[in-house]
């Protein structure tokens, strides 16, 4: 393999092989055998070609988490899978965040997507293409993730690669903001040999359906964010992070960094019902709406924790600090009694394993997990909570509706802006532990059947097989 030691450190992301046999006890012998046989077929078809993924960040957010796992499994079965990360400046990420918000049907910051923004976007593509092409061999299959690196698609096709564009964001309909965002990004993505969306509804009409696949994301039960934790471990992790009042600290803590927490008074006691939402500080996740809905419409002694990554820890999201500040400002306007029921937590990203363990513990300790998104490509935090057998209340938007079957695997709020309905659903589960437990059991079974890595990998294998057959 070519020596890449001279490339920028940010370009290459380490991928550790993962043995897929570890999935066996969860998916059964038949599903495991199908995965291994398919891997053999794909490896044979690839020959000397590789699968190379390109995105804009190696940490923070669901895309990076999924890539680490899926590429690890690919390497674990002997498939050459690489992960490259493009570089960009603040202006570039402001533009791509605007596109990102537009594809969610939102105006975002209300800024322009005109000639100046296109020039910034294309300048960044030009700045990255030489280093990226140095890592791509003609014939390689390149999967380009989301709008940020989409400007590389045309040059990579000219270089001889087969290119798939994977869009992780989307909106169930069309409005002026989606149309503007698609008009901006269309010249870069339309030429890709394949297009992948989390839901078919997310694909615009000009995407050729024969080249389009709907492949929902998945979770890996063995990552630090999803691994099994004993109740004492959960309390120890949350105590070490400053999120829960505990009587004792573990002698060998797995978490050494405390979260940045905005609160009135001390942390909640371990016996207080906890309602949580964990997500990036993104306006589409509507953290302020969760706060307002909880304070106004949940009357039980439950405590709310709104948690997300430290705002300087997600390199491709310039909006994070603004949304954190907006949420803190909304909290500060609450009456004292209301403020004492709500904590805001920015969880450090310096050690991704520590971050994941804290999120894991929060989800496992929660009495109710909320995901009040205004729009959502999929919502991995929903699948994570469901896998942990937690009752979920979520907005009926995007890929969430493929996970939460209302009244069966959780509760859906049909209008994401209806704060009273959100509060009523949360209150219902707090008041009826038996109903909450029933939904939680069904939730785990649903994720096990539909949203683990073997299904995800098999769908990609089908797409890759078709691409390679067409060459």
For residue 241 the two structure tokens come to: 């992070």
Residues 101/284, Cβ–Cβ less than 8 Å: yes
**What pLDDT, on the 0 to 100 scale, is given for residue 254?**
84
- Report the pLDDT averaged over residues 305-313: 88
d(CA 317, CA 441): 35
- Report the pLDDT averaged over residues 175-204: 97
**What pLDDT, on the 0 to 100 scale, is given for residue 250?**
63
Q: Residue 379 pLDDT more than 60?
A: yes
Q: Residue 10 pLDDT more than 70?
A: no
By percentage, how much of the chain surpasses pLDDT 70?
96
Could you tell me the domains of the chain? 20-218+453-470 (3.40.50.2000), 231-450 (3.40.50.2000)
Give 44: exposed, middle or buried? Use CB within 10 Å, 0-12, 13-18, 19+.
exposed
**What pLDDT, on the 0 to 100 scale, is given for residue 315?**
58
Banded model confidence at residue 312, pLDDT cuts 50, 70, 90: confident
Q: Residue 87 pLDDT more than 80?
A: yes
- Report the pLDDT averaged over residues 202-231: 95
Banded model confidence at residue 30, pLDDT cuts 50, 70, 90: very high
Q: Residue 175 pLDDT more than 90?
A: yes
For residue 329 the two structure tokens come to: 């400002």
Write down the pTM of the prediction: 0.92
User: Can you spell out the DSSP letters for 335-401?
Assistant: -HHHHTTEEEEEE--SSHHHHHHHHHHHHHH-SEEEE--SS-S--HHHHHHHHTT--EEEES-TTHH
**What pLDDT, on the 0 to 100 scale, is given for residue 389?**
98
Length of the chain: 471
Handedness of CA 94, 96, 97, 101 (dihedral sign): positive
Residue 302's alpha-carbon distances to 47, 189, 296, in angstroms, are: 57, 46, 13
Banded model confidence at residue 252, pLDDT cuts 50, 70, 90: low
pLDDT, tens only, 326-338? 999 999 999 999 9
pLDDT, tens only, 152-163? 999 999 999 999
- Report the pLDDT averaged over residues 41-55: 96
User: Can you spell out the DSSP letters for 100-136?
Assistant: HHHHTT--TT----SHHHHHHHHHHHHHHHHHHHHT-
**What pLDDT, on the 0 to 100 scale, is given for residue 8?**
46
- Report the pLDDT averaged over residues 16-24: 96
DSSP state of 263: -
Residue 429's alpha-carbon distances to 119, 143, 425, 436, in angstroms, are: 50, 41, 7, 5
**What pLDDT, on the 0 to 100 scale, is given for residue 249?**
67
Maximum distance among all Cα pairs of the chain, rounded to whole angstroms:
65
Q: Residue 313 pLDDT more than 80?
A: no
By percentage, how much of the chain surpasses pLDDT 90?
88
CB-side neighbour CA atoms (13 Å) of 19: 4
d(CA 364, CA 387): 10
Residues 392/441, Cβ–Cβ less than 8 Å: no
For residue 349 the two structure tokens come to: 């990203």
């Amino acid at each position: 393999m070519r020596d890449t030691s001279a490339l920028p450190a940010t370009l290459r992301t380490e991928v550790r092989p993962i043995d897929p046999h570890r999935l066996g006890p969860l998916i059964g012998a038949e599903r495991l055998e199908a995965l291994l046989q398919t891997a053999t077929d794909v490896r044979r078809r690839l020959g000397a070609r590789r699968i190379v993924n390109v995105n804009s960040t190696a940490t923070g957010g669901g895309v990076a988490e999924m890539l680490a796992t899926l590429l690890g499994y690919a390497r674990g079965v002997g498939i050459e899978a690489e992960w490259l990360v493009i570089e960009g400046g603040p202006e570039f990420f402001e533009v791509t965040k605007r596109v990102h918000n537009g594809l969610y049907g939102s105006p975002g910051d209300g800024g322009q997507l005109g000639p100046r923004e296109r020039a910034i976007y294309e300048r960044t593509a030009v700045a990255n293409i030489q280093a990226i092409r140095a890592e791509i061999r003609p014939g390689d299959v390149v999967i380009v993730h989301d709008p940020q690196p989409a400007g590389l698609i045309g040059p990579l096709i000219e270089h001889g690669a087969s290119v798939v564009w994977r869009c992780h964001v989307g909106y169930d309909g069309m409005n002026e903001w989606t149309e503007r965002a698609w008009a901006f990004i269309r010249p870069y993505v339309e030429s890709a040999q394949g297009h992948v969306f989390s839901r078919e509804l997310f694909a615009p009409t000009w995407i050729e359906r024969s080249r389009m696949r709907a492949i929902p994301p998945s979770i890996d039960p063995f990552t630090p964010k999803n691994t099994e934790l004993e109740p004492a471990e959960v309390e120890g992790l949350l105590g070490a992070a400053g999120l829960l009042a505990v009587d004792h600290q573990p002698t060998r803590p797995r978490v050494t960094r405390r979260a940045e927490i905005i609160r009135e008074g001390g942390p909640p006691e371990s016996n207080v019902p906890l309602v949580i939402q964990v997500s990036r500080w993104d306006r589409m996740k509507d953290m302020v709406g969760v706060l307002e809905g909880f304070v106004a419409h949940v009357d039980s002694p439950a405590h709310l924790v709104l948690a997300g990554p430290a705002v300087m820890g997600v390199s491709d999201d310039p909006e994070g600090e603004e949304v954190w500040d907006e949420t803190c400002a909304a909290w500060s306007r609450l009456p004292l009694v209301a403020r004492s029921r709500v904590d805001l937590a920015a969880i450090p990203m310096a050690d991704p394993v520590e971050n994941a363990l804290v999120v894991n513990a929060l989800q496992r300790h929660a009495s109710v997990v909320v995901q009040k998104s205004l729009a959502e490509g999929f919502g991995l935090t929903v699948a994570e909570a469901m896998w942990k057998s937690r009752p979920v209340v979520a907005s009926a938007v995007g890929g969430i509706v493929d996970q939460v079957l209302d009244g069966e695997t959780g509760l859906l709020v049909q209008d994401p802006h209806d704060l009273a309905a959100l509060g009523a659903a949360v209150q219902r589960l707090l008041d009826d532990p038996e109903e909450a437990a029933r939904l939680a059991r069904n939730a785990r079974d649903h994720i096990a059947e539909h949203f683990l890595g073997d299904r995800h990998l098999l769908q990609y294998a089908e797409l890759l097989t078709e691409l390679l057959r067409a060459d």
